[in-house]
Every structure is written in C-alpha cells, then in structure tokens.
Chain A
Amino acid sequence: MKIVVFSLISRSIAVAIVAASLLAGTDAALAHAILIETEPASESSLATPPTEIVLVFSEAVTPVVMRLLDTEGKAIAEVDDVRGRNSRLILPLRARIADGQYLVSYRVMSADTHPIAGAFSFSVGAGGKVDGFEIQEQGFEPARAMVLANRLLQFISLFIAAGSVFFLVLVRPPGYMQNSLRKIATIAAAIAVVTYILAIGVGGADMAGVGPGSLIDYSVWKLAAGTNLLDSAIVGGSGVVILSVGWHIPHVAGRSTTLLIGGVVALTGLAFTGHAATATPQWLTAPAVALHLFTASFWVAATIPLVWILKASPAAESTLVLNRFSSRAAIALAVLVASGVCVAIVQVQSFPALISTDYGEILLLKLGLVLLLFVLAAINKYWFTPRIEKSDSNGVWHLRRVIHIEIFVMAGVLVLATLMTTTVPPRSIATVARQDTYDVMSDRIESAGDFATTMSQQGYVIDVSVSHARAGRSTLTVTVKNEAGVPFTSIEVRANLSLPALDIEAIKISLEPQVGGEYYADLQEIVIAGDWDLRIDVLVDDFTQLIYRMRVPIGQSDNLETEL
C-alpha cells in the first residue's frame, strides 16, 4: 500500500509540474474588459471636428471592428487604421470630417476572448442635438449559443476522457471493466478533440458577430487563431492524444504516467480561455482551477463504471471497488470544494455581489446542485453500500437509481458551469468601478484625488462625485435617486461652489443632464486649490427645491501638457 501511495505521489508531482508550466503561459490579470471612456464623449456636440476617435477600456483589447459612420451609414474610417493594441484604441481621422452627426461602432475582444460591442454617437458643428441614429439593442446571437453548446459538449467529453484516467489509476477497477472504460474514453477523447477545434471556429464567429453560416469562411477561423483559442486547442488536443495513446498501449511501466499526464494536459487546455485561471493572485487561482477540473472530472467519469459494476459484478467485487472509490472520492470531494470556494471568493469578492450579480446567482444555483450531489453521495455511502456488502439485491437497485439521479444533477452543474464562463464575474465589474478614470490626453492613470459622497433628504438621495479633483481639470457628476434607488428625473439640478477661505463668492455651475439620469458639469473655472463648499440644488418638483451641501477638497493642479 505504501509503495502504491509513494509512486502515486511521485507521479502526481511530475504531472503537477507539467500542468504548472503550461498554466504559467496564460496571461495574468486579464479579465472581461469594459469600456470606460470615449473621446468624443457619447452624445456630445462638438464645435470643431475631432482628429481621432479614442476608446478607453479597462484593459488590453484587440479591435475586430471599429468604424466611424455618417448618417447615411457610410464608413468614413475603419479598423485597419486603428493604432494601439492595448487598452486605448485610437482611430485617426485622416480627413477633416464635415459638420453633422456621426456614429462610432465598435467590436473588440478582451484577452479572455469575449467580444464587447457597442456604438455611440456624436455631432459636429451647429447640428446640435444628436438624434439621427437609432442604436439597436443586440439581441440573441446564434454564434454565442453555439459557443456555449460546444463548450458544454467539451466539458462533458473532456471530463469523461480525462476523468476515466483518474478513475483507472486511483480506483483500479477489474480488468474486464478497464476494457469497456477504454472504449468509452476513446470515443469521448475523439469528441473532445473535435470540440477543441470547433471552439476556434465558433469563437471566431462570436467575436466577429456573424452568424453560424460563416463557419465555412476561412477569415473567421483566422481571426480566432490569433487568440488563445488556438493555444487552448493545441494544448488540450495534445493532452487528449497522449491519454488516448496511454489507453491503447500495453501495461508497461510508464503507462499510468502517460495516462495521467495526458489527462492533466487535456484539462489544462480549458484554462487557457476563460477568466477563472487568469484572476489574480494567479499563483492561487491557476492551481485551484486545475484541481477543481481534475476532481470534477473524476467524479463525473466515475459514475459510468460505477453503474456498470452494480449491473454486472458479483457482490464481493462490487463492494471492493465501491469502498475504494468511496475513500478516494472523499478526498477528491474535499479538494473539489476547497478549490471551488477559492476561485469563487476571488471572482465574486463580496457577499452582496453573490445575490446582486448574474454571475453570483448562477454560482449559488451551482452550489445548491453540488450540495444535492453531496447528499446523494452520502446516501450512497452510508445507506446503500453497506446493504450491498450484505448481498442485498435491493441495495444494488437503489444505488443504481441514486447514481442515475447523480448523473442528472451533474449535467445541471455542468450547464451552469458553462454559463459561468461567459458571464462577467463581479471581480471585473469591481475593477472598473474602483479604477480611476483614464486621462485621455496622456497615457497615465490619474491617481486618487476623487471625491464622492451620497446624501439623502426628504426621500431623495443624491450621489455626488468630483473626479480628477484638481484645479482646472475636475468634473462634477450628480445622480438623483429616490430611496429605492430608482433614478429620478428632476426638473433641474444646479450647483455652486464657493471658497470661503479666500472669500470667493459662489461660482454658478450649470449641470447638463446626461444619459442614464446623471447630471454632469465641467469644473474648468475652478482653478484654485482649496476646500471648496459645494452646494447642489435639486428641483424635484415646481415648488420643492432640496439643498445639499458638502465640502470638496480640490488639489493642486499638476503642470502637465494638457492643453492641445
């Protein structure tokens, strides 16, 4: 027994080293990118035409489509001209554009191969109000559905192919069973390779925003081949090939190791795309995700041989295998839960995010199903397995039934896990919220010096923020809501700033209503640093004006080449 354990451990270490070196190749700290800022600002009216269009994202993205269109839908500038393959995409406008209304349409790809698309409009010259475009909501995309379906199939086939390897090595089923297992594993492996390859094509279609029919178009594949989908397919595919080889070679010395390496590498291919294994701290999340995948595949694949054993084997053999499985499974379960919790904490980050975000809700549902699986496994172990030891045939029947239910629940868990791969985790949302706004003029992130507060009066809540709180460059944003958090449209919002220390009388600020119930003002006239008194007047109805007062520290301006 000790020898077995020792060799298992040494093999596991070898395998772990392989996995770690593969995962080290994935890009760190890249999550689901979000658009932070644009220049010109959305729905703004410019006096003079811009010389370039700038899109600022929360992290590095690759542009797929970026177009400037006029009201007739003619493209004036396009993606080939885009400079900058990082978080700031710049589309230079070679010619001076005429007065009128324009639409910027973009589609970019973040490092986790998720596409982000949108559009915004602006106008130049005396055109005034921007209302010439109807920006349509993006509805159901068949390409996205294909990505999810392919991924689900990928999970199932990979888990069976790799998990059967783990079952073979850890539980050592009888010889005749190994033959059947080998057949199933080979079929699953073939399917897994196909899904890895298909993932490139459907991923490309999703990125380009085209329909499923475009899969025959070579450019769609070429597009995706430039991303880590290709790396994922190469690594995962190689792993699947290795494990298939391992299954079919005779029982030589290195067979188990080959099988294990194949299984591990095949699953590691999954970690190349998706945001879980790239979350910081990567030294924690990458191994956690890997362990989660290994143990999950073990559980999923185990259900197949277990059902066979209960159908075909004599009681004594069944009991032996079942007991062996039970003891391994207990450890695997602990690792599964621990690694899952680790990743969940990093991705979700806070309890409120668990119930308020889509990602959190899917996770809770998944946890519920996993809990159900525990209960079923416990029933199996403590209730029915002992009965089989006593050669109780009823016990066999019940155990099989429960395992069938387990398979069903596992399928549900896999569906949810698939959905989670395309849902933005709270970690990414939080990154953007906490991140200081990019200075579009220079490449640096403005460090703190932002002011934000929330005040409430007579049932009306205002969120006030002064960003870049520096002399001459601050901006003021006010949002009015009722106590339930619903944005409220007031008749008018005014502000004035005074600096009593220097006897500066109230400077009137007029706030412009923006999209989304916000009011915005440029505080360029506030050129002196100090503790300013900000007063915000909200006209909630004809006769009711609420006055909110607060003190805003405005810092020294840094002398940058900010003026063009």
Chain B
Amino acid sequence: MAALCLFTWIVLGGNAVAHTSLVEETAPADGYYRVRFLVAHGCDTSPTHTVRIQIPRGVEFISAWHKPGWIVNTVPSLGASDDDRTELVKEVVWTGSKIPANEYDYFEIQVRLPDEEGRVLYFKTIQICDEGDLRWIEIPEEGKSADDYESPAPALTLTAH
C-alpha cells in the first residue's frame, strides 16, 4: 500500500511539476530549424484536446510536422508583411485527437529563425483540455528566470550560427 502511494506520488507528483517545454532550449540563429514541444500532462485529470502555439515576431513558420490523428490549422497575423508573397503565420493549432492526462506527446514545427544571436524566443503555448486549460505564457520579468514561475512560456535561446 505504501509502495503504491509512493509510486503514485512520484509519478503524478513528477508530472504535476513538469512544464510544457522545448526539447532543445537553444538553437543556432538564422537558419531552418525544427522546434520540438513536449506536452507533459493534461489539466489535472482531464485530457488535452487542443494545442495552440504562438509564433514569435521575427520567426517564419514553414510547416508543421504531421501527427497522425491530428489536424493542423494556422492563423495568419493581422497587418501587412514586408514580403507580399507569403502571409505571416501567427499561430498554429492542433485539434482532432486527445492526449490522455498522464501521457507525454511531441508537437513539432519547422521554422526559419531570425538572425538575432542572443535573443530569447518565447513560443507561448495553450493547452485546452476537456475541463479547463493550461496557459504556458508567462515571460520572466527583469531579474527572474522561468523557474520562478508556474506556467512559463517555452523559451528558445538563439546562439551563434
């Protein structure tokens, strides 16, 4: 009994602490790159049925990596882009399936990163569950880091080419 409790506590406790985050937290600036998001859990016991990821300013969205069972939609940004040939994508949305509350899943997008070494890109993410939602949208204030927050936005730091 005690072992079961301990086990449950470790598994669930561990999951309760895990944020939705990036698998790789650094990437070289100015190049094509696959950003991988790890969704670690649902809303308490409720499964996730929608994932929305906001594309930061300066990042060009190329395509989403296909996930069987899921449908991908993009939301264009309002306002003109410099380049009239392509519409800038502001948000990518996955729907159509569910991630059980206690399971991991990956979501991947192919982007072109801006040529700004040292900049931290925040890919704000919202998980919408059957009951409730989780918003990973907190950006650390001056003098603080992501560890100081409960729901920090997944962050990608740009390094040299």
Chain A residues proximal to chain B, CB less than 8 Å:
539, 542-545, 547, 549
Chain B positions 38-73 with a Cβ under 8 Å from a chain A Cβ: 52, 54
- Looking at chain A's contact residues, is the secondary structure mostly helix, strand, loop, or mixed? strand
The answer to whether B54 and A545 touch across the interface, beta carbons within 8 angstroms, is no
Stretch of B23-31, B109-117, B135-143 on the interface side = B135-143
The answer to whether B138 and A543 touch across the interface, beta carbons within 8 angstroms, is no
Q: With A and B bound together, what is the CA distance between A543 and B52 in angstroms?
A: 10
Residue of A whose beta carbon sits closest to that of B90 = A543
Q: With A and B bound together, what is the CA distance between A492 and B137 in angstroms?
A: 14
B126 within 8 A of A: yes
Ordered nearest first, which 9 A-B pairs have the shortest CB separation? A543-B124, A543-B54, A545-B137, A543-B137, A542-B126, A545-B138, A547-B141, A543-B126, A545-B135
**A545 to chain B: which residues have CB within 8 Å?**
135, 137-138
**A542 to chain B: which residues have CB within 8 Å?**
52, 126, 135
The answer to whether B138 and A544 touch across the interface, beta carbons within 8 angstroms, is no
Residue of B whose beta carbon sits closest to that of A508 = B150
Residue of B whose beta carbon sits closest to that of A544 = B137
Residue of B whose beta carbon sits closest to that of A545 = B137
Chain B positions 127-161 with a Cβ under 8 Å from a chain A Cβ: 135, 137-138, 141
Residue of B whose beta carbon sits closest to that of A496 = B150
Q: Identify 9 new A-B residue pairs, CB closer than 8 A, beyond the known A545-B137, A547-B138.
A: A539-B135, A542-B52, A542-B126, A543-B54, A543-B126, A543-B135, A543-B137, A544-B137, A547-B141
**Separation in Å of the A145 CB from the closest CB of chain B?**
51
13 residue pairs from A and B, CB less than 8 Å apart: A539-B135, A542-B52, A542-B135, A543-B54, A543-B124, A543-B126, A543-B135, A543-B137, A544-B137, A545-B135, A545-B137, A545-B138, A547-B138
Q: With A and B bound together, what is the CA distance between A544 and B52 in angstroms?
A: 13
**B135 to chain A: which residues have CB within 8 Å?**
539, 542-543, 545
Q: With A and B bound together, what is the CA distance between A539 and B136 in angstroms?
A: 12
**B124 to chain A: which residues have CB within 8 Å?**
543
**Separation in Å of the A6 CB from the closest CB of chain B?**
78
**A544 to chain B: which residues have CB within 8 Å?**
137
**Separation in Å of the A265 CB from the closest CB of chain B?**
70
**B141 to chain A: which residues have CB within 8 Å?**
547, 549
Q: With A and B bound together, what is the CA distance between A437 and B16 in angstroms?
A: 42
**Separation in Å of the B91 CB from the closest CB of chain A?**
8
**B138 to chain A: which residues have CB within 8 Å?**
545, 547
Q: With A and B bound together, what is the CA distance between A542 and B75 in angstroms?
A: 14
Residue of B whose beta carbon sits closest to that of A492 = B135
**A547 to chain B: which residues have CB within 8 Å?**
138, 141
**B126 to chain A: which residues have CB within 8 Å?**
542-543
Chain B positions 64-98 with a Cβ under 8 Å from a chain A Cβ: none
Residue of A whose beta carbon sits closest to that of B138 = A545
**Separation in Å of the A456 CB from the closest CB of chain B?**
15
**Separation in Å of the A540 CB from the closest CB of chain B?**
11
Residue of A whose beta carbon sits closest to that of B53 = A543
**Separation in Å of the B56 CB from the closest CB of chain A?**
10
**A539 to chain B: which residues have CB within 8 Å?**
135
**Separation in Å of the A473 CB from the closest CB of chain B?**
28
The proximity string for B residues 4-18 relative to A, scoring 1 for CB distances below 8 Å and 0 otherwise, is 000000000000000
Q: With A and B bound together, what is the CA distance between A231 and B126 in angstroms?
A: 69
**Separation in Å of the B49 CB from the closest CB of chain A?**
16
Interface centre among B52, B126, B135, B141 (most CB of A within 10 A): B135
**Separation in Å of the B103 CB from the closest CB of chain A?**
25
**B54 to chain A: which residues have CB within 8 Å?**
543
**B52 to chain A: which residues have CB within 8 Å?**
542
**A549 to chain B: which residues have CB within 8 Å?**
141
**B137 to chain A: which residues have CB within 8 Å?**
543-545
**A543 to chain B: which residues have CB within 8 Å?**
54, 124, 126, 135, 137
Q: With A and B bound together, what is the CA distance between A549 and B148 in angstroms?
A: 14
Q: With A and B bound together, what is the CA distance between A85 and B57 in angstroms?
A: 64
Q: With A and B bound together, what is the CA distance between A547 and B137 in angstroms?
A: 11
Residue of B whose beta carbon sits closest to that of A539 = B135
**Separation in Å of the A537 CB from the closest CB of chain B?**
8
**Separation in Å of the B10 CB from the closest CB of chain A?**
22
Residue of A whose beta carbon sits closest to that of B91 = A543
Residue of A whose beta carbon sits closest to that of B133 = A542
